[in-house]
Each structure stands twice: as C-alpha cells, then as structure tokens.
Amino acid sequence: MIKITVVISAYNEEKNIKECLESVRQLADEIILVDNASTDKTTTIASSVGRKVKIFTRSNNLMLNINKNFGFSKATNEWILNLDADERVSKSLKHEIIKTLKQKNRVTGYWIPRKNIIFGKWIKHGIWWPDYQLRLFKKSKGKFPCKHIHEYLKVEGKTAKLQKALVHYNYQNISQYLYKLDKIYTENEADNIIKTGKKLGWQDVLSMPAHDFLKTFFLQEGYKDGVHGLVLSMLQGFYSLVTFAKVWEKQGFKQKQKGNFLKEVIFEFKKLAKEFNYWLIQSKLKTEKNFIKKMIIRIFKIT
C-alpha cells in the first residue's frame, strides 16, 4: 500500500487550516504542519483534527520555501504532497492520486492543475488556469531551491501531469491581494532584478505595466472572465508598476534630467498605443464569427 505524507506550511491560517486538513485526512497516512509562529488559533485547530497531524513550529521566514523544505525532511513516507493552507484536495483528485501511485513507472513527480478561486470566482483564463503546480513527489527526489519566492519545486527524474485539479481559495479580497503584492511578491521581484543586474530604463515604468496588462487580458484571454478578468489584468499591470518603483527606490530614485522629457514620454505612449491597437484588432478577429466582418477588420484595421 502506498503511503503519503502531506506537508503544509502555514501562518495565521485559522480560517483555512481545518478545511485543508479535512480534505486530505483520508488520503494522508501522515500530515506534517509547519507552523510559521502563528499568533492566532492555527495550531489549536490543527491539533483537534486528529493524531495524523504532527505540528512543528518555526520562525516566520519571508522565504517560505525554507520551512517547506524543513517539513519535507520530517516526512516518514516515500511520497509527499505539498499543500498550502488555502488549498483543498477534492475527492476526484484524491482518487486519481491513489490510482496513479499504484502504477509502476519511473515518474518521481507529478504536476497538478490548480483551480484558482479569486474574489469569489473560478478564474479560467490568464495565468490562473490551468496553473500547473509540481506538488506530488518522491521525498528523496524533490525540494525547493530557495532562491526566490516565485519558484517551482525542483524534482530529479521524470515528471508527469495529473488531470484532476487542486482547488485554491486564492485572494478573497482586494486588501489581501495588495498586502501580498506589497509585502512579499514585489519586494522579492525587485531584489531579484537588482541581483541579476537587469537594467531598467525610465521607459519601463510605462512599458512593464502595459505589457503585463496586454498579455494577461488579450493574449491569455483574461477578457473571457469578464470584470474579474479585467480587474485582475489591471492589477497585474499594477504589480509591474510597483515592482519598477521599488527597483527605482532601491537604486536611490535616480532622475531623468536630460532632453525634453515630455516629448519622450509622449513618444513612448504612442508606441504603446500601437500595441493596444494591435491587440484590439487581434481580439476582434478572434471573437468575430462573421467571415465578411473579419475580412473588413483585417483590411481596414478597424477597432
């Protein structure tokens, strides 16, 4: 019989931890909870779920994956399922995991699609779906590199994909999104840009947010998620703006002083306007079903 250890790293997750643990109680032979020095009832609630849950307390490290690796080291089983407290394993995913691990193959890690529930809705486009995550792996073959926050688990050997999805109750409100954007993600992103020596010009304060919005809303079809897709695409652009601003801050707020600055800014906006126009046309072509109207759009570049 295949035995699985579920590893969860959590900080102040009293609202989520019980449902997370309950979703894996029948799947896991062992549950390792690494509590990152929570100040709420996270550990109390976790303790009430059952004897399978083993709790370890660690300091709250900004590099969250350090504590996840610690949790992996405490697992006593060959297979590990790595989860966050705001994630749930559905019955269909549980059955697929059990069935898959019973098969004899050389796979050492499995990517699991993830359904992101954001602001109360399953977001089916953009970067949010299928959002494959490498979560199920052999203990001896996987760990996090711990080089930056946005990183995948590194697994030695062959990997494959599962079909059933992990449910992720992601951002529940705007404040939560902005808090993580400011305190975690953009700080780390800005530091990585500086460490790698990537050069940013003042033009990037315009191009980075614009390109991220265009990519998310048009190329990745975020518009199909309606207002949710539009807001998330705008927030993705804002993410890039804040990242640029933090790099600029860390480099001493260097100023652009030479030349006609207004003229240069207008020139950059005109370039971006052409890109917006291009994507408006491409989106119209993609969504227009009438052949004649499509031809008119192609010929006259109508937006």
The residue ranges of every structural domain in the chain are: 4-169, 174-300
Per-residue pLDDT averaged across 91-107, rounded? 94
In the structure, what pLDDT confidence band is assigned to residue 255 with cuts at 50, 70 and 90? confident
- Average predicted confidence (pLDDT) for the chain: 93
**Higher pLDDT pick, 257 / 251:** 251
**Higher pLDDT pick, 89 / 103:** 89
CB 98 within 8 A of CB 30: no
Residue 75 predicted with pLDDT over 80: yes
**67 contacts: CB under 8 Å, gap ≥ 6:** 9, 34, 36, 58, 61
pLDDT for the residue 186: 94
Per-residue pLDDT averaged across 17-45, rounded? 96
Residue 275 predicted with pLDDT over 70: yes
pLDDT for the residue 151: 85
Alpha carbon 243 to chain centroid, angstroms: 16
CB 248 within 8 A of CB 186: no
**Higher pLDDT pick, 295 / 102:** 102
pLDDT for the residue 303: 63
Side-chain-facing half-sphere of 244: CA atoms under 13 Å: 18
pLDDT for the residue 155: 96
pLDDT tens digits along 113-123: 999 999 999 99
Per-residue pLDDT averaged across 64-82, rounded? 96
Determine the Cα–Cα distance for residues 16 and 18; give it in Å rounded to an integer. 6
Determine the Cα–Cα distance for residues 1 and 87; give it in Å rounded to an integer. 25
Determine the Cα–Cα distance for residues 276 and 17; give it in Å rounded to an integer. 43
Q: Which pairing describes strands 107-112 and 53-57: parallel, antiparallel, or unpaired?
A: unpaired
According to DSSP, the residues that pair with 111 across neighbouring strands are: 134, 161
Measured over all CA atoms, what is the biggest interatomic distance in the chain, rounded to whole angstroms? 72
User: Look-up: residue for tokens 């759009």?
Assistant: 297
Q: Please state the three-class secondary structure of 255-279 as a single string.
A: CCCCCCHHHHHHHHHHHHHHHHHHH
pLDDT tens digits along 112-160: 999 999 999 999 998 999 999 999 999 999 999 988 777 889 999 999 9
Determine the Cα–Cα distance for residues 217 and 211; give it in Å rounded to an integer. 10
Residue 289 predicted with pLDDT over 70: yes
pLDDT tens digits along 8-27: 999 999 999 999 999 999 99
Q: Say whether domain 4-169 belongs to CATH 1.20.120.330.
A: no
**Higher pLDDT pick, 292 / 45:** 45
Q: How many residues does the chain have?
A: 303
**Which pTM value belongs to this model?**
0.88
DSSP 8-state assignment for residue 220: T
Determine the Cα–Cα distance for residues 110 and 158; give it in Å rounded to an integer. 9
- Which tokens sit at 84? 């966050």
pLDDT for the residue 178: 97
CB 167 within 8 A of CB 87: yes
**Higher pLDDT pick, 62 / 59:** 59
C-alpha closest to that of 288 among 272, 274, 273, 302? 302
pLDDT tens digits along 170-210: 999 999 999 999 988 999 899 989 998 998 999 999 999 99
φ, ψ at 162 (rounded to 5°): -90, 165
pLDDT for the residue 1: 72
Determine the Cα–Cα distance for residues 1 and 166; give it in Å rounded to an integer. 23
